């Protein structure tokens, strides 16, 4: 590995109910056997990764390579801490329960295979990341997707679910998204909204079910809401669902796993550089599966490029 001395490993010990630490033991054994120099940080609290990465990527004169052993939420924290995108390289292993980012970019599920590729045959790409501005909250970046409505409601409930921890222990963590997703169809309250694409096109959105801006095709445990999304094209893909009866929503949620959800006229995909949603009442907002707040007005922006290596 080039510039091995600048490898920094960030470990979330609580990722996927302790899987982060188990993976770290395998990674440490391999790196030590190869004589690869590195620094490690075991994360202890939410938000710590952002503060740490801010310090690590300040005033860089050479590349800093961050290897994240954590889930999509940890990766989002890391992204929001990067100061110097030119000299920062991001890598990850499949460590969380959803692993949407790792799977979207083709990181091997097998830890040894993924690490062998990173060390022996690394491949680097410039990936898109986005940024949102919501009400009076500080701007936040997102790596995979940022959604408002149904998918954010799921993420918010999953974050409080004790069932997720139970299922993670038996390797079925993704099932909690499906179970809560079905529940939310029948329990959530829709909002009415207006959507503006690239500051020009206005779309009326009665009974907003959800809107998501995506850099990658899949989110929420592998759901391909935007199957044609390309994380290298500098354009954001979005999926909009509005004004549908619950039985059609249920069918749409099933069909999305087969990439057939667009047969419904009220489920549409679009592309843009910016989009602004104005709702008549606050909606939960998620960034890469994390739900920091509710907001009535949200602006998505395709922001820039991130160096990713696998």
Contact between 173 and 100 under an 8 Å Cβ cutoff? The reply is no
Superfamily in which the 4-122 domain is placed by CATH: Probable inorganic polyphosphate/atp-NAD kinase; domain 1 (3.40.50.10330)
Q: What is the pTM of this model?
A: 0.91
Instruction: Tell me the CATH number of domain 129-304, given options 3.30.1480.10, 2.60.200.40, 3.30.1490.100, 3.40.50.10140.
Output: 2.60.200.40
**What pLDDT does 52 receive?**
97
CA dist 275 and 212 (Å) reads 10
**What pLDDT does 3 receive?**
43
3-state secondary structure of 282: strand
**What pLDDT does 35 receive?**
93
CA dist 64 and 54 (Å) reads 12
Q: Where in the chain is the domain with CATH 2.60.200.40?
A: 129-304
Q: Where in the chain is the domain with CATH 3.40.50.10330?
A: 4-122
**What are the mean pLDDT values of the chain's consecutive 10-residue runs (310 residues total)?**
71 79 92 94 95 96 96 96 97 88 95 95 97 96 96 86 60 70 89 95 94 95 93 97 95 93 96 97 94 96 97
* 254 sits in which H/E element: helix 246-256
């Amino acid at each position: 590995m080039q510039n091995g001395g600048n490898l920094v490993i960030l470990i979330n010990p609580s990722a996927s109910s302790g899987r982060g630490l188990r993976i770290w033991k395998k990674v440490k054994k391999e790196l030590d056997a190869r004589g690869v120099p590195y620094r490690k940080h075991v994360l202890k609290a939410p938000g710590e990764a952002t503060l740490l990465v801010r310090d690590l990527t300040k005033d860089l004169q050479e590349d800093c390579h961050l290897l994240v052993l954590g889930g999509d939420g940890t990766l989002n924290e890391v992204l929001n801490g990067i100061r110097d995108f030119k000299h920062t390289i991001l890598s990850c292993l499949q460590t969380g329960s959803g692993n949407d980012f790792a799977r979207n970019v083709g990181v091997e599920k097998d830890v040894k295979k993924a690490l062998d590729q990173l060390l022996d045959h690394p491949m680097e790409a410039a990936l898109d990341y986005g940024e949102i501005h919501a009400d009076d909250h500080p701007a936040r970046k997102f790596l995979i997707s940022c959604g408002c409505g149904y998918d954010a409601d799921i993420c918010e409930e999953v974050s409080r679910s004790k069932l997720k921890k139970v299922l993670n222990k038996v390797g079925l963590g993704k099932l909690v998204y499906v179970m809560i997703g079905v529940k939310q169809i029948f329990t959530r309250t829709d909002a009415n909204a207006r959507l503006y694409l690239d500051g020009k096109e206005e779309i009326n959105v009665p009974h907003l079910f959800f809107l998501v801006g995506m850099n990658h095709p899949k989110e929420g445990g592998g759901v391909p809401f935007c199957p044609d999304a390309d994380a290298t094209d500098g354009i954001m893909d979005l999926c909009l669902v509005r004004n549908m009866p619950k039985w059609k929503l249920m069918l749409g949620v099933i069909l999305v796993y087969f990439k057939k959800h667009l047969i419904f006229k009220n489920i549409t995909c679009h592309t843009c550089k910016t989009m602004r949603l104005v709702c008549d009442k606050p909606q939960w907002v998620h960034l890469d599966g994390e739900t920091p707040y509710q907001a009535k007005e949200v602006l998505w922006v395709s922001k820039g490029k991130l160096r990713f290596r696998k």
